[in-house]
Structure 1
Amino acid sequence: MKNLSALICFTCFLSVQFLFPQEASINDKNRSPLYDYSEIHLNSTDTIPSFETQENKLKITGTIYYSDGITPAKDVILYVYQPNADGDFVTHKTNGKKYIEHRAWVKTNAEGQYTIYTFIPGAPYEPLTYPRRRGMKQILPVIKVPGQPEYDFDAFIFDDDTAISERCRKKLERINYKGMLSLKKIGDMHVAVKDIVLKEENPSNTVVASL
């Protein structure tokens, strides 16, 4: 039983990091889909496709700070993608390359603030399980700081998700996991305030992927 519990927690941990597929760019297979916003006017607010028709609407809002946790970070791009309400990643093709339908981009304002209107996704199937079972609900964020390479932030998961065991919560706490969303219902919408502290800046990367 102890080994079984450990396996369940390990699977839970894996699902947070590796469950989502790597999205393909519509222009270059090796380029992050974060950059596929050429026809989108970036600002501090964006809306996931099909938001208006969703039952469990969700607003994620907050402030992105530099690594000191105090200074608001301006012009940071936050890109998110997620499964649909059934837990499936809906994909489409443009010029022969796949991209995920439910995605959005925001660029923080002068105060480091952002807002994304989306919906609570369904739970995808967990990896390494037979028979297959659903895992945690997740939204996947990618961050791009001006003059720095993009990087994956911890997957946004939901504090009230029954798929997250106490053992897994302790594991996530030990690794300083930062992706938990706590929801509050306001009218017909769930609201999560998620402030983000950026990784420490690396001056050697300042020319690698500037916008």
Structure 2
Amino acid sequence: MKTLNLLFVLLLSFGVGSHNLIAQDLINTDTIPGFDSKPNKLKISGVVYESDGVTPAKNVILSIEQADEHGNFNVVDENGKKSVINSGSIKTDDSGMYTFYTYIPGNDRRFNMQQQLFVFITEADNTSYEIPSFLFDADPLLSKQCRKRISKKGDPSRILKPTVVDGLNVVQKDIILTSSLEALN
């Protein structure tokens, strides 16, 4: 867990997660670069809800970042601003719906890092924060001990269990916004 926290601090120090996006250019679907050529293609979609868990949250920016299929984070420096290549962003539609076409990331066994998608939220009022990363049920590094910790923290739904449909891993992941998460600067 300390390794994951260190990794996240490193990502933030690169400026990753501080998505200065032009919201009007976003739609509710995005495809991660290289999707067509990657193994273990993944379609992740769902509805983002307001904190009441019922009202769809429209115009919310949802961004994901991930390692490549080998567990490496590929970072590019454009005009002094660093960002993860394997990333994408959407803006929810009026019904709160979103879809990402990506792939299941690899894990870096050197650092005992699990397969995961890092998720960032920017609400309509520009409040930005991270939510717990999405993990994968079939990940060999997702130990029983880690699963117990996740269950104790009350968020076992962050472990994704894709089903294969026509050769594509598909998962439905709804998200409930919460004001109790620490905002990013």
TM-score (norm 2): 0.87
* 1:62 is the counterpart of 2:62: no
Tell me which structure has the larger Cα radius of gyration: 1
Kindly provide the CA deviation profile for residues 160-194 of structure 1, in whole angstroms up to 9, marking residues without a partner as x. Answer: 21211112111111112352211110112101110
Alignment partner of 2:115 out of 107, 114, 137: 137
Moved over 2 A (4+): 13-21, 37-40, 132-135
Letter in 1 for 2:161: S
Q: Is the 8 A contact 1:67 1:199 kept in 2?
A: yes
Match of 1:172 in 2: 150
Match of 1:22 in 2: 11
Cα drift, residue 148 of structure 1: 4.2
Q: Is the 8 A contact 2:23 2:61 kept in 1?
A: no
- SS, match of residue 59 in structure 2: coil
State the alpha-carbon separation in 1 of the partners of residues 24 and 37 from structure 2. 22
- Over 3 Å counting, the alpha-carbon distance change for 1:16 and 1:187 in structure 2 is farther
Q: Is the 8 A contact 1:17 1:155 kept in 2?
A: no
State the alpha-carbon separation in 2 of the partners of residues 192 and 144 from structure 1. 22
State the alpha-carbon separation in 2 of the partners of residues 123 and 50 from structure 1. 18
Q: Is the 8 A contact 1:16 1:155 kept in 2?
A: no
Q: Is the 8 A contact 1:66 1:200 kept in 2?
A: no
Alignment partner of 2:18 out of 33, 45, 68: 33
Q: Per residue, is there more strand in 1 or in 2?
A: 2
Match of 1:151 in 2: 129
- Over 3 Å counting, the alpha-carbon distance change for 1:187 and 1:16 in structure 2 is farther
State the alpha-carbon separation in 2 of the partners of residues 201 and 147 from structure 1. 15
- Over 3 Å counting, the alpha-carbon distance change for 1:102 and 1:40 in structure 2 is farther
TM-score (norm 1): 0.77
Unpaired segments ≥5 residues, structure 2: none
Match of 1:109 in 2: 93
Kindly provide the CA deviation profile for residues 53-72 of structure 1, in whole angstroms up to 9, marking residues without a partner as x. Answer: 11111011000001111111
Match of 1:89 in 2: 73
* 1:44 is the counterpart of 2:33: no
Unpaired segments ≥5 residues, structure 1: 1-12, 26-30, 126-131
Q: Is the 8 A contact 1:158 1:182 kept in 2?
A: yes
* 1:194 is the counterpart of 2:173: yes
Q: Is the 8 A contact 1:57 1:117 kept in 2?
A: yes
State the alpha-carbon separation in 1 of the partners of residues 68 and 43 from structure 2. 16
State the alpha-carbon separation in 1 of the partners of residues 163 and 154 from structure 2. 23
